[in-house]
Amino acid sequence: MRGGHYYSLDEVGARFWELLVEQGSVLQVQELLLSEFDVEPERLSADLARLIDELLAAGLIVATETQDSARPSEENLPRRPSPREEMPFL
């Protein structure tokens, strides 16, 4: 790598990177991560925003101006049903 720097990611970060290469859209990746990991949407959004900022600052990714690749935010997160909605018999 340029500059002799090495980077590492945790499990979710590594999966984000893998899916971003495949999908090319942060929002699509975010939806997939929500289905793969037991994480609250707000937490994932905040974690991905921080990771994206770090990757941008390091020059490891480049932002594009497409709507699909927009920065994750609470407004564009897929809504997870509450436990009551998932189990209407309760």
Stronger pLDDT, 39 or 78, i.e. the higher one: 39
Rounded Cα distance, 71 and 52, in Å: 8
Question: Number of folded domains in the chain?
Answer: 1
Q: What is the pLDDT of residue 53?
A: 92
Q: Can you give the residue range of the structural domain that contains 51? A: 7-86
Amino acid identity, position 44: L
Stronger pLDDT, 69 or 7, i.e. the higher one: 7
Does some domain include residue 1? no
Does some domain include residue 37? yes
Q: What confidence tens digit (pLDDT) does each residue in 68-77 have?
A: 444 555 555 4
Question: What H or E segment, with its residue span, contains residue 28?
Answer: helix 26-36
Weakest-pLDDT range from 9-23, 42-56, 69-83: 69-83
Does some domain include residue 52? yes
